[in-house]
């Protein structure tokens, strides 16, 4: 089945009150895990490719892998999304390559510059029937000292009034908001805390606009423990509880990005496999083990987001 528009996916999610999982991929095994999990559970899914993934594996190669896997699941409802496009040129190249959705991330720019670049992408993408995700408010990488509640600076959070102006001026189809999450596996030093009140205010200001939550991996303790037991140095890693993400869906969050959870689970599984099988040199063995774990993890995410069986 060809990639679908996220506009239709989000409309159904908003009407029925669930969120759709958006999973990043870098290679064949991750694509297989995503597609198999969605196909077996009849769940809608968004497959995401970042600029870094495109540089690593090649845009054409990754798109071809995704299309090939989807041919074996003809009824699967899925979109192919450019994650965190840093420029108009990156988004344009993704559209030319066949992506059905792109994100232009101007969150690090001034408000006016963000509006300008987002509008430019929207004007081009909409002519090609491609949807556009934008971001207002800034998510901080794992190198940032986030303090007790996630993002340290109040200025990094999304302003509800500015969100309304931004959407009206740009015409973007969905908006990624900052309410306390961050990228990477070290999202919180203390108890996880998201500003759901702010999210509710944003949703009230733009009730018909699909909202997106980035930096939403839960960093499950099971895989943190497994990874550290087999040599990883990630003690203190902590993510967003799945129960909190489910609450966020009540306030317009219809797309939840998941990347670090997949990285952590695959890394932990491969470390464990190599420790237990020191003589193994066949990549198919340990990559296959990682793929199988990812499939189960993704199904778990479908359940947590409420989109299981909603395709």
Alpha-helical runs (H) found in the chain: 6-16, 28-41, 51-57, 59-70, 88-97, 111-127, 160-170, 196-205, 221-229, 242-248, 260-276, 283-305
Which token pair is 292?
């199988």
Task: Encode pLDDT of 150-199 as tens digits.
Answer: 444 455 899 999 999 999 999 999 999 999 888 888 777 767 788 999 99
Task: Encode pLDDT of 50-109 as tens digits.
Answer: 999 999 999 999 999 999 999 988 889 999 999 999 999 999 999 999 999 999 999 999
What size, in residues, is the chain? Answer: 311
Give the class (CATH, top level) of 6-305: alpha beta
User: Which listed residue (36, 83, 105, 259) is catalytic?
Assistant: 83
The stretch 46-51 carries a mean pLDDT of 98
Strand partners, 133: 103, 174
Between CA 34 and CA 70 the distance in angstroms is 10
Count CA atoms closer than 13 A to 189's CA, side-chain side: 9
Whether the per-residue pLDDT at 40 is higher than 60: the answer is yes
Q: Is 105 a catalytic residue?
A: no
Average pLDDT, the chain: 92
Q: What percent of the chain has pLDDT over 70?
A: 94
Q: What percent of the chain has pLDDT over 90?
A: 81
Between CA 292 and CA 299 the distance in angstroms is 11
Instruction: Name the band, by pLDDT with cuts 50, 70 and 90, for residue 24.
Output: very high
Which token pair is 188?
């919180």
Identify which has the larger pLDDT, 139 or 152: 139
The stretch 212-225 carries a mean pLDDT of 94
Enter the pTM of the model.
0.93
Contact 97, 51 (CB under 8 A): no
Q: What was the pLDDT predicted at 193? A: 81
Domain borders along the chain are 6-305
Which token pair is 254?
């219809």
Instruction: Name the band, by pLDDT with cuts 50, 70 and 90, for residue 145.
Output: very low
Identify which has the larger pLDDT, 144 or 48: 48
Out of 74-83, 235-244, 273-282, 290-299, pick the least confident: 235-244
Strand partners, 177: 136, 213
The stretch 221-230 carries a mean pLDDT of 95
């Amino acid at each position: 089945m060809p990639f679908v528009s996220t506009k239709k996916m989000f409309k159904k999610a908003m009407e029925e009150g669930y969120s759709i999982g958006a999973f990043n991929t870098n290679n064949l095994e991750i694509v297989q895990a995503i597609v198999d999990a969605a196909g077996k559970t009849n769940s809608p899914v968004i497959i995401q490719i970042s600029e870094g993934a495109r540089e690593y594996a090649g845009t054409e190669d990754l798109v071809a892998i995704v299309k090939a896997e989807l041919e074996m699941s003809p009824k699967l409802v899925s979109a192919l999304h450019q994650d965190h496009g840093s420029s108009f040129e990156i988004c344009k190249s993704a559209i030319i390559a066949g992506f059905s959705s792109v994100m232009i991330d101007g969150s690090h720019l001034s408000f006016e510059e963000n509006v300008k670049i987002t509008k430019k992408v929207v004007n081009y993408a909409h002519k090609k029937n491609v949807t556009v995700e934008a971001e207002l408010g800034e998510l901080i990488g794992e190198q940032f000292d986030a303090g007790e509640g996630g993002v340290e600076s109040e200025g990094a959070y999304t302003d509800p009034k500015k969100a309304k102006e931004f959407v009206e001026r740009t015409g973007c189809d969905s908006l990624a908001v900052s309410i306390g999450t961050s990228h990477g596996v070290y999202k919180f030093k203390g108890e996880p805390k998201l500003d759901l009140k702010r999210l509710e205010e944003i949703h009230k200001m733009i009730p018909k606009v699909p909202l997106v939550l980035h930096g939403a991996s839960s960093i499950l303790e099971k895989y943190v423990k497994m990874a550290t037991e087999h040599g990883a140095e990630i003690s203190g890693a902590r993510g967003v509880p799945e129960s909190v993400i489910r609450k966020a869906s009540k306030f317009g969050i219809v797309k939840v990005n998941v990347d670090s959870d997949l990285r952590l689970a695959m890394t932990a599984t491969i470390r464990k496999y190599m420790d237990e099988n020191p003589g193994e040199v066949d990549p198919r063995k340990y990559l296959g083990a990682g793929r199988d774990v990812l499939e189960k993890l993704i199904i778990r995410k479908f359940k947590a987001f409420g989109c299981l069986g909603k395709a």
